[in-house]
């Protein structure tokens, strides 16, 4: 019976999933995976941390890899509603890709949030963010061309204000490279900032820029976009952008708390420690916040658990350090959970090691499989020349050389159709490539997702079987370990 219980529990966790979803994020799916799910976490994906009473929300999604595109969900007080949205690649061929749009809205709350992103089938795990795409973009090539040399974001993706209010907004830029980044703002709102250049290094990786914005009268939603570009570089990997939405409401009173992690997606050249900041602003009377940090694959993150008391209207920054061993390359997901007595928020950050090199090796191997001998020789020479520069220079000092090498890659791939970057596979278009709009799979039959049935069935089965097992196996000393008690 124990085997049955454990087996059912395992089924709850074997489905590949992304813990939460942000705007302009792009993910890879391993060729051996037949499905990958992202969680729409409510109410936090609407920009709030909790609700005072039960509310309804709608999730609408568009992608040719979806089997369901509409879901009505209930949001209950004090509970995170995790709604898996599952994508099914049509085949395991590397290079398959799709673009998606997701809209989450609640008439009860008068709130709406849109996100867009994409998936690429690739054996090299990767997550990219801060780059723009649409239905015509080859997501795989775009991801190959973008290495997360820097991260740019606002303190909050969504914020609330009164008509006519003057707000202070904060932009965070993080990079472990020696580089200068030009920032410019795009908005119709009145601000005291338009452009500025900031510098980063491994010793001082995070910089911030504060500016003020004056909001008009009347209820409305306003968007501010910041664009960051590495000075002297025109390549795709040298440009990132971020948006913040300000929801102006005369009758809205902010409650709960907001939280964000800085940076969200960053690359380091080699194994070293990387710092993350969790920013929490409390809008309620003083309360205790418990913050936990874990990672996948597992690396040390310190502290793993901590707590802090924050007063009403106050902000607190909690710093975490992740340590990567000498042989640990690849992509790491850092998960943060922020809990109070009446709410919870989940945050995810991504840390990659040596992405410039891994992207380059992947693209060179792809070219070697498909190009003629002359092209293979040219790319090998270009790679060796850049690799010598990469090995002998500090992170960021070889940006111009890498830009030249990326030009060679694009020329070798023969990409003249407006898509950018290196290819992670051979199939780049057609019905499975995402370049011809949204098309439901032939077998979708109206778009019902078996995941929405099987997951509740598994949960019920676990509870029933475990109850029967406990009733039939009572002992004074059953050898049970102490139950997990949460954050200390």
Residues near 454 by beta carbon (within 8 Å), at least 6 away in sequence: none
Residue 379 resides in a domain: yes
- Contact (CB, 8 A) for 55 and 79: no
**N-term to C-term CA, the chain:** 32
Predicted confidence at residue 436, as pLDDT, reads 31
Residue 12 resides in a domain: no
Can the peptide bond before residue 96 be classed as cis, meaning omega within 30 degrees of 0? no
Q: At what angle do helices 373-392 and 355-370 cross, to 10 degrees?
A: 170
- Contact (CB, 8 A) for 43 and 81: yes
Predicted confidence at residue 174, as pLDDT, reads 98
Predicted confidence at residue 428, as pLDDT, reads 37
Backbone angles phi, psi at 390, to 5 degrees: -60, -45
Predicted confidence at residue 400, as pLDDT, reads 92
Three-class DSSP category at 439: coil
**Residue ranges, the chain, pLDDT below 50:** 1-16, 415-457, 459-460, 462-488
Tens of pLDDT, residue by residue over 392-448, are: 999 999 899 999 999 999 888 874 333 433 334 433 333 344 333 333 333 333 333
Predicted confidence at residue 10, as pLDDT, reads 39
Distance between CA atoms of 154 and 172, rounded to whole angstroms? 6
The DSSP element (H or E) to which 8 belongs, if any, is: helix 2-11
Residues near 378 by beta carbon (within 8 Å), at least 6 away in sequence: 408, 412
Predicted confidence at residue 267, as pLDDT, reads 95
Predicted confidence at residue 49, as pLDDT, reads 86
Predicted confidence at residue 12, as pLDDT, reads 38
Predicted confidence at residue 190, as pLDDT, reads 96
Predicted confidence at residue 88, as pLDDT, reads 97
Residue 332 resides in a domain: no
Write out the residue range of the structural domain in which residue 374 sits: 355-413
Three-class DSSP category at 400: helix
Residue 404 resides in a domain: yes
Residue 394 resides in a domain: yes
Residue 397 resides in a domain: yes
Q: Which of 162, 170, 183 is nearest to 212 (CA)?
A: 170
Predicted confidence at residue 173, as pLDDT, reads 98
Predicted confidence at residue 429, as pLDDT, reads 38
Tens of pLDDT, residue by residue over 288-323, are: 999 999 999 999 999 999 999 999 999 999 999 999
- Contact (CB, 8 A) for 301 and 295: yes
Predicted confidence at residue 327, as pLDDT, reads 62
Backbone angles phi, psi at 281, to 5 degrees: -120, 125
Q: In DSSP terms, which residues pair with 259 in a beta bridge?
A: 280
Predicted confidence at residue 20, as pLDDT, reads 57
How many structural domains does the chain have? 1
């Amino acid at each position: 019976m124990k085997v049955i219980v454990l087996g059912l529990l395992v089924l709850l966790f074997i489905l590949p999933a992304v813990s939460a979803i942000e705007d302009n994020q792009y993910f890879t799916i391993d060729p051996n995976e037949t499905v990958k799910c992202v969680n729409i976490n409510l109410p936090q994906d609407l920009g709030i941390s909790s609700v005072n009473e039960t509310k309804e929300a709608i999730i609408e999604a568009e992608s040719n890899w979806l089997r369901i595109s509409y879901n009505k969900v209930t949001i209950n007080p004090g509970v995170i509603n995790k709604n898996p949205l599952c994508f099914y690649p049509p085949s395991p061929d590397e290079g398959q890709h799709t673009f998606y749009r997701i809209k989450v809205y609640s008439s009860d709350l008068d709130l709406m949030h849109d996100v867009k992103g994409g998936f690429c089938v690739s054996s090299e795990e990767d997550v990219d963010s801060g780059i723009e795409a649409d239905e015509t973009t080859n997501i795989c090539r775009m991801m190959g061309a973008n290495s997360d040399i820097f991260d740019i974001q606002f303190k909050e993706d969504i914020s609330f204000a009164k008509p006519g209010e003057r707000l202070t907004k904060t932009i965070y830029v993080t990079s472990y490279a020696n580089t200068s980044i030009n920032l410019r703002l795009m908005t119709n709102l009145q601000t005291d900032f338009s452009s500025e250049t900031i510098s980063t290094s491994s010793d001082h990786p995070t910089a911030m820029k504060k500016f003020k914005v004056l909001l008009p009268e009347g209820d409305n939603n306003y968007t501010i976009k910041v664009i960051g570009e590495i000075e002297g570089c025109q390549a795709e990997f040298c440009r990132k952008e971020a948006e913040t939405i300000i929801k102006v409401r005369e009758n809205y009173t902010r409650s709960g708390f907001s939280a964000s992690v800085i940076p969200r997606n960053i690359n380091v050249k080699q194994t070293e420690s990387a710092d993350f900041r969790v920013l929490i602003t409390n809008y309620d009377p003083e309360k205790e916040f418990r913050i936990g940090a874990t990672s996948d694959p597992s690396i040390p993150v310190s502290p793993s658990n901590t707590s802090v008391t924050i007063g009403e209207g106050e902000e607190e920054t909690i710093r975490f350090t992740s340590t990567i061993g000498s042989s640990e390359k690849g992509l790491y997901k850092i998960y943060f959970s922020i809990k109070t007595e009446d709410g919870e928020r989940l945050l995810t950050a991504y840390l990659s090691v040596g992405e410039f090199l891994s992207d380059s090796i992947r693209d060179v191997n792809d070219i070697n499989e498909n190009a003629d001998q002359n092209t293979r020789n040219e790319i090998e020479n270009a790679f060796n020349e850049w690799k010598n520069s990469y090995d002998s220079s500090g992170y960021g000092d070889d940006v111009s050389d890498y830009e030249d090498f990326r030009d060679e890659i694009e020329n070798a791939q023969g990409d003249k159709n407006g898509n950018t970057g290196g290819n992670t596979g051979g199939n780049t278009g057609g019905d499975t490539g995402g370049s011809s709009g949204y098309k439901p799979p032939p077998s979708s039959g109206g778009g019902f997702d078996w995941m929405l049935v099987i997951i509740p069935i598994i949960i019920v089965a676990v509870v029933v079987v475990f109850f029967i097992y406990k009733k039939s196996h009572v002992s004074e000393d059953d050898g049970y370990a102490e139950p997990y008690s949460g954050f200390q």
